[in-house]
Structure 1
Amino acid sequence: MNSQLENQARDDAFARRIRPHMAMMRRQCVRLAGNAWDGEDLFQRAMLKCFKAWQKRVTRTFTKAYLYRIISNTWIDEHRKVRVTEHAQESFDEIAACSEGKKTSEQFISAMKIVLERLNAKQRLVYLMQAGWGLTAPEIAKRLGETEGNVRVIYHRAKRRVASDQPGADTLPDERRLARYINAFQSGDPDRLLALYREEAHRHHVRESGFGDSGFICRMAA
């Protein structure tokens, strides 16, 4: 209980410091990124860096110059890190066109591991359906019970995560789980992927009881 109260007090203190600068930071992020979606991703990463820097020195002053530098460095780092994994899309194209008897390639297995490691359950479902099978956003939205706009946002973010060096949203997949996804994808049956998604979504149901770093940043950004 004391720990939760301390975390809450810490989060509140950071919020008081950063809140007056958030609108300016968002504008700068959108300007650098060139669009609202990428700008929001950049804003989230910059906020997390500010939070971690503040944790190390709570007397830190957030000047405009300092925040601009955080945003610029975050943007530069992102572009330096990105390695577009073209083999992932090539592998999905290859498997989608395969006959049933063709052996699964090592390249495809590697691509599926990236998808399992880096994407959350919903991103994974949308990415495999759209990048792998070529389904349209309206088709996926109807199956998933999401709006078409939400599906486009999910797919956009999933593509960025697949193509980046960012830490994965998941642990290394075990062989059974990997095999289930490969089989479901190769079957071409959306209901099999949907069943896996529902199973994973249920297993990873919201577990945050306090703010925590990432949860707090999302609440601040809302």
Structure 2
Amino acid sequence: MENLGARLDHGGTGEAVGAMSNLQSLGERSRELRSEFEHLVEPNRRPLWRFCLRLTGSAWDAEDLSQETLLKALGGLYRFGQVLDPRAYLFRIASNTWIDQQRRSRPTAELDTVEDLPAAAAPEASSNLSDAMEMLVRFLPPRQRVVFLLIEGFEFQAREVAAMLRLTDGAVKALLHRAREALHQARQSPNMPASPPTAANKLVAAYLDAFNRRDPEALAALFDPQATNYIVGDWEEQGVETMKKYSLHFWKAEPAAERAEYRRLLARDVVVVTTRLPDGSEALWSVIELELGTDRVLGHRWYFFCPEFLEHAAAELGLPAATHGYFYKDPT
């Protein structure tokens, strides 16, 4: 990743300064760098997403955190002169980003101030992180959660975690000890009941009708003129005219049969889009989250280029997932 970092730092200086005034040209060049970056980090995308899921306890928040991590990782390369370990680099950014989010959202909450405690042997090595995940989210302070997951779930060494979080080895071992003890005590806690689903309103019904008729004009008419469409991890569009020119145009031309329904998924009310595989079986194709106004759709988040998220959501639905990679690739 060293050469890519150098290009981000120096590639746009000197004789290229004039061309950089054209933002469209700069955007095209940045997409080329982004494609190279995606190739370099792709082997670590799935472990990163699983880490974000276990950290946040929500597939939606995991997708947001992983996308923010990747943006920061690409944007921050210019600061590094040394060769980076992509896995440690990504996990470090995800860990610190999430801890910072917790600090901002709960300014009075302790992040777990470290005292000089001995790192005693674990009462139980928590290899079954699926069972422990809900307790992690509900009971562990942020730093304990990060340390526990990095060491127990993703096999980082204490010294590596210490470097990521800018702590001493002893502090990391103390946090791990506390996390193990807290999880051991929390195993008897009852589960929280799920919140009940809400019914779709007339605007959602109109959206589903237009979508299932594959009618981009009818769909566009439901959006506020200044609506934002975010194709998660790949593209963002401002305004319905831009949507009609790009995403809705390509959606209309998509040969795969799609069927949309509004339902509860992963504790949110969303549009679930399915398709038929060649053998006739049903598969999850995409997930769409709508931001609804009184009579218009104000925002649109399209989970399409999110293979880990779609696989997780599909498992919740008892379906296979039809995935599409991490970003749009021009077939030409």
Give the TM-score taking structure 2 as reference length.
0.29
Choose 1 or 2 for highest CA Rg: 2
Whichever structure has more helix as a proportion of its residues is 1
Higher RCO by CA contacts (8 Å cutoff, separation 6 or greater): 1
